[in-house]
Amino acid sequence: MLDLPLVVILLLTGFINLIGALAYAARIAGVRTGRIAMSFALFNILLLFSRTSNSFLGPFLAKRIETRIHDGTGASLFLDMQFVLAAASIATLAGILLVPTGQRLFAAAIGWYQDNRSTTKLALKAASPAGLRTLRRSLRFPSLVHLKGWHMPQGIGWGVLIANCLAQSLLAVGVVASLYAGYLAPEFRVTASQLSALINGFATILLFAFIDPQLSVMTDDAVEGSVGEADFRRAIALISLSRLAGTVLAQALLLPAALLIALVAVHV
């Protein structure tokens, strides 16, 4: 049963994952404009916001679990957690569909910032009528034309895609599973909630050490011309789809991860 607190949690989850999925559009904008350093700064801001904002979900989810325990309706918590992960998947899919729009918006933002050099003015410009007109002009959806001659782009292999899928699934399920583990082992709720840092930390290291460097090298290759823009866009699409697959995989990992965390919390 959806209620106002759960709707707030779902909207927050959706917003976080939408921003994370749209961050890849900054890479494409950097290749198209040639402003790689600026696009990387924009990409890192969005990605950092997405990866760290998961911690904001903690208090909302924790309060819901505490409420469910106190009023004796904890049996429905698993469904609540599944709704949260489903919201992450839906928002990620929406972000993938909006990548062409995001790419145009980021290209416009990079060009404007290059002339004005003010983050505050850029934020105000985005919220102005002129910014809204830019948003309307930039609205695009993925074209099926890009599916012609589809192949695995050079520099992106199955290992990278699988590692990204795994890392994204751990990021999606980490906080949710640790808090649900607190319901499974209520006497060790605090210990279980703290274990999410280990899961998210491992996933973040995996992303920064193995995924992001591969994408950065490919971005440089695209700027130099050794990798075509079409191949680079395909690589971004595959990385984005592996992110989506990770949020779907998180649904299957929720219960095993929660049981494992509860077991560790009891015997740590």
Greater model confidence, 66 or 268 = 66
Q: Which of 158, 25, 187, 8 is nearest to 94 (CA)?
A: 25
Structure-block tokens of residue 102: 């995001």
Structure-block tokens of residue 119: 């983050």
List pLDDT tens digits, range 31-61: 888 888 777 777 777 777 766 666 677 788 8
Q: Measured between alpha carbons, how far is 263 from 268 in angstroms, rounded to an integer?
A: 8
Q: Phi and psi (nearest 5°) for 156?
A: -120, 115
Q: Does position 98 have pLDDT exceeding 60, yes or no? A: yes
Mean pLDDT of the chain: 84
Q: How many CB atoms lie within 10 A of CB 229?
A: 13
Q: Which of 72, 268, 82, 246 is nearest to 176 (CA)?
A: 82
> What does pTM read for this prediction?
0.86
